[in-house]
Amino acid sequence: MSDFKDKASKFKTSLDIIIQLWTLVRKHINDLYEDLRDGHNLISLLEVLSGDSLPREKGRMRFHRLQNVQIALDYLKRRQVNYILLKVKLVNIRNDDITDGNPKLTLGLIWTIILHFQRSYLFNASGQMMMRHK
């Protein structure tokens, strides 16, 4: 039973972090799997977290959605961070997985983004996300 409570607690914490991330982007996410499919929200999130400006496709066809998700994935691959014991990598996450709304891989991508940028952000006592001073 304790193992279940630990997993539930970690999931809730992850969900809270995801919600905080999208408040930084000033986007409202109704359905995580649906709202990430076109890549625009992913690109916006990465822009806010990194301070970089990323290109994006403006069309609405599947090709454009796939390209936007690929832009986000390529950006993360270029910025891979090596920790002492942990290398944050995108493993088996493809643009069509996110565009098709695959729940497991979408959550995996979000968790990778959280791990990737956790060194730049911290949470205060009330759970609000704040940028660390550089």
pLDDT at residue number 107: 86
Note down the domain range covering 47: 2-131
- Is residue 123 within 8 A of residue 130, CB to CB? The reply is yes
pLDDT at residue number 132: 52
**Number of independent structural domains in the chain:** 1
| 67 band by pLDDT with thresholds 50, 70 and 90 | very high
pLDDT at residue number 14: 65
CATH number at residue 32: 1.10.418.10
pLDDT tens digits, one per residue of 2-31 = 777 776 676 667 667 777 777 777 777 788
Q: Which residues contact 14 (CB under 8 A, 6 or more apart)?
A: 107, 110, 111, 114
| 48 band by pLDDT with thresholds 50, 70 and 90 | confident
pLDDT at residue number 83: 39
- Is residue 106 within 8 A of residue 33, CB to CB? The reply is yes
Give the mean pLDDT of 67-84. 79
pTM, two decimals, is: 0.74
| 128 band by pLDDT with thresholds 50, 70 and 90 | low
Q: How far apart are CA 74 and CA 126, in angstroms?
A: 34
